[in-house]
Amino acid sequence: MMWLFLATACLTCGTLNAGGFLDLENEVNPEVWMNTSEIINYNGYPSEEYDVTTEDGYILSINRIPYGRRHFGNTGPRPVVYMQHALFADTAYWLENYANGSLGFILADAGYDVWMGNSRGNTWSRRHKTLSANEEKFWAFSFDEMAKYDLPGIIDFIVNKTGQEKLYFIGHSLGTTIGFVAFSTMPELAQRIKMNFALGPVISFKYPTSIFTSFFLLPSSIIKAMFGTKGFFLEDKNEKIPSTKICNNKVLWILCSEFMSLWAGSNKKNMNVSRMDVYMSHAPTGSSIQNILHIKQLYRSDEFRAYDWGSEAENMHHYNESRPPLYDLTAMKVPTAIWAGGHDSLVTPQDVARILPQIRNLRYFRLLQDWNHFDFVWGLDAPQRVYSKIIALMKELL
């Protein structure tokens, strides 16, 4: 949808060269063409990359920044932090601003061992021990499975690799959903989390105001007819979408900015427009149609449940219950800090207010009145207004 919008606008709003063709040959940021490991190295940090195989056979790529630039030569044990990206993103999500404005680099420079995971089905985690990504069975997952298999598998790997029994968890958007599901249903996993940092948490999805959420009003049958039953918005890691050049064009970048405001809320003054092509080049990384349908089930709902397979028989097969089980956030004991944006049109303050009473160990909450959904990762003032507080709260638990 986004790329169709940008391409259409490109035909009507661009500048034409002497031959009558749109000129998009502006200089592109080199990070547009880099994967996460290359971005880390490009910024002068050490990078490690690993594969993690989940209990149900998915092979996930994860990235690590073991220490910051100021810590070269001092490679002793450091407190571990794990970061989980949003829908349609990847591990580069935490590194797309300059080093002094990206949470991944800031944490590394603050003395943390930084790990970042790719959710199953995205560009870098589209492998399985026995299944091909061309098979429908490969795509039979939602954030349920990301919480049940991906997160425990990755945390086990990190614990074994580092020797650190406990770590900090940071999630944004759907990354927070994965954390909340996992920590409320798996007490043994929850015991390994020192603190859960939730940025723009997606639990209640009843009051979004983004115009694009009207997509969820379509019947599931229509969504499947339009997009199939496998992957959704899949990226080819060997190519970059046309919007990358559109968003770098001196005239057309405003189209990208306007689209992002319609999608996630307006706060244009808080974004580095010179990095727009970098932001757009690392999305969409793809997910499953089933994951989209699970989010659709949350839309306008009063309940936070596991995926509804569409019939009592199928639900009985998966859950031994005729209805999908409720996720009980009151069962989660992990210390939790939450930030929300007042201009966030995806996760509105009304939705956040619905979940706060359910968080029994809420250590910190702040509503940033002028922030939208993307400010948590791309906001120019994020280091001062959020990241510094995250580090302060971490240090209190050392």
Distance, in Å, from the CA atom of 49 to the CA atom of 156, rounded to the nearest integer, reads: 16
What is the phi/psi pair of residue 135, to 5°? -90, 140
Report yes or no: 371 and 342 within 8 Å, Cβ to Cβ: yes
Please pick, among 184, 294, 373, 375, the residue that the annotation labels catalytic. 373
373 assigned to active site: yes
Q: How many residues does the chain have?
A: 398
Please pick, among 90, 109, 113, 344, the residue that the annotation labels catalytic. 344
Report yes or no: 285 and 124 within 8 Å, Cβ to Cβ: yes
Neighbours of 76 (CB within 10 A): 6
- What region does 223 belong to: left with phi over 0, alpha with psi -120 to 50, or beta? alpha
Alpha helices in the chain (DSSP H): 2-13, 36-42, 103-109, 143-145, 151-162, 174-185, 187-190, 220-227, 243-248, 253-264, 276-281, 289-298, 312-319, 349-355, 375-378, 382, 388-396
Please name every residue paired with 340 in a beta bridge, in sequence order, or none if there are none.
367
Report yes or no: 44 and 70 within 8 Å, Cβ to Cβ: no
Spatial neighbors of 264 by CB under 8 A, at least 6 apart, are 210, 344, 345, 346, 372, 373, 374
Q: Could you tell me the maximum CA-CA distance found in the chain, to the nearest angstrom?
A: 67
| The one-letter amino acid at 203 | I
Name all contacts of 215-220 with Cβ < 8 Å and 24+ positions apart: 215/1, 216/295, 216/296, 216/299, 216/300, 220/293, 220/296, 220/310
Tell me the two tokens of residue 158.
Answer: 């990190």
The structure tokens 């954390």 sit at 179
Please pick, among 61, 173, 210, 287, the residue that the annotation labels catalytic. 173
Tell me the two tokens of residue 74.
Answer: 């001092």
**Three-class DSSP category at 288:** strand
As annotated, the active-site residues are 173, 344, 373
